[in-house]
Amino acid sequence: MFKLIEFNYHGKTVFFRADLNSPVKNGKIISDARFRAVLPTVRYLLEHNAKVVVGTHQSKPYEEDYLTTEQHAEILSSLLGIEVKYVEDVFGKCAREAIASLKPGEILMLENLRFAAEETKQAPLEKCENTYFVRKLNPLIDYVVTDAFAAAHRSQPSLVGFARLKPMIPGFLMERELKALNKAYESEEKPKIYVLGGAKVEDSLRVAENVLRNGKADLILTGGLVSQIFTLAKGFDLGDANISFLEKRGLIKLIDWAEKILNEFYPYVRTPVDFAVEYKGERVEVDLLSDKKWIFDERPIMDIGSRTIEKYREILQEAAIIVANGPMGVFEIEEFAKGTVEVFKAIGESEAFSVVGGGHSIASIYKYNIKGISHISTGGGAMLAFFAGEKLPLVEALKISYEKFKDIGK
């Protein structure tokens, strides 16, 4: 792969693909974590007099957090301390004119890339290369720089389409992400503990299967919906409220798969011994084996309980390598952030080399000022795909571009 510092950007137009897709509440972006993560690359490009064209997606069509990138431009602008222009267009005439009129050291934010139909679908690189998006912008740009690690599992035009047309260069964030994730995955140190939470159950099962089968994990601690599926697969009842919630989300069918993993690796997959629910306006913790278990028929599980947190903390203290993805519960609600925050804190306090990710859930690391985590990944699904042993289309595109352009003058 190329290195960012190998090129001369003076007066060159750089398409900078970032992933600034961020959590939103009442129409407002509530975390700038992904913006801060790309600042070193953006600053480097601006300091070296590039004309920087930023592209990002925000959510997907019909979702509540599917927004224009006007706010993204404002946030980036206030973090950089310079104007970030915004154009309400992706690759049409307005966008192209705005790009062409940029001066060295100036920066422009394109509209939400997923406002363009081509960007909402995945297709092989050859097809992405032939999209209107790529064909219209290609004549205007000299280099592509990418820090969109969080979208690295997607094969979409803005991510992979330029690979054979322009030198595609990883930014500082991309480089850091790949270095840290490879270190955690390839390390020979033991014990290696994986903490899998959140709602991406299928992706997490893929990770569990891959890391256990290939000797990359010694133990898996579960939380979130991942733990509910494994708990059910172990034969425990989680009550009507939870079963019907999992059914609605189409997750019940994954119990068989979880059972297969347990048949092979039972002692290496830990599930919570207690869970927290909301009862009469309060956090109530219920032991999985207690006679208060009826509560699960009425109240959905919102978090792991304190006994589980304690057990997980003890295990994490002894770890050499920790990989964690996704929250332990509904961390957006204060009373139910406890599991997520305490587990992330325990990871920070351990001496292990630790990588923590999970898309929007990493916002809680900043909110609760949790220190000591070796690498906070900006990736959610991308991080899971990596640890599931899958090839990431964006990483493959960077390699293809390097092979194609490595001999050109920089």
Residue ranges that bind ligand 3PG, judged by CB under 6 A: 19, 21, 60, 150-151, 154, 359, 380-381
Smallest distance from the beta carbon of 410 to ligand 3PG, in angstroms?
A: 30
When the beta carbons of 19 and 118 are compared against ligand 3PG, the nearer one is 19
Smallest distance from the beta carbon of 334 to ligand 3PG, in angstroms?
A: 23
HEC string of the chain?
CCCHHHCCCCCCEEEEECCCCCCEECCEECCCHHHHHHHHHHHHHHHCCCEEEEECCCCCCCCCCCCCCHHHHHHHHHHHCCCCEECCCCCCHHHHHHHHCCCCCCEEECCCHHHCHHHHCCCCHHHHHCCHHHHHHHHHCCEEEECCHHHCCCCCHHHHCCCCCCCEEECHHHHHHHHHHHHHHHCCCCCEEEEECCCCHHHHHHHHHHHHHCCCCCEEEECHHHHHHHHHHCCCCCHHHHHHHHHHCCCHHHHHHHHHHHHHHHHHEECCCEEEEEECCEEEEEECCCHHHHHHHHCCEEEECHHHHHHHHHHHHCCCEEEEECCCCCCCCHHHCHHHHHHHHHHHHCCCEEEEECHHHHHHHHHCCCCCCCEECCCCHHHHHHHCCCCCHHHHHHHHHHHHHCCCCC
When the beta carbons of 156 and 271 are compared against ligand 3PG, the nearer one is 156
When the beta carbons of 82 and 117 are compared against ligand 3PG, the nearer one is 117
Smallest distance from the beta carbon of 255 to ligand 3PG, in angstroms?
A: 24
When the beta carbons of 325 and 350 are compared against ligand 3PG, the nearer one is 325
Smallest distance from the beta carbon of 27 to ligand 3PG, in angstroms?
A: 18
Smallest distance from the beta carbon of 229 to ligand 3PG, in angstroms?
A: 20
When the beta carbons of 18 and 316 are compared against ligand 3PG, the nearer one is 18
When the beta carbons of 215 and 250 are compared against ligand 3PG, the nearer one is 250
When the beta carbons of 21 and 31 are compared against ligand 3PG, the nearer one is 21
Smallest distance from the beta carbon of 373 to ligand 3PG, in angstroms?
A: 19
Smallest distance from the beta carbon of 105 to ligand 3PG, in angstroms?
A: 28
When the beta carbons of 262 and 384 are compared against ligand 3PG, the nearer one is 384
Smallest distance from the beta carbon of 36 to ligand 3PG, in angstroms?
A: 16
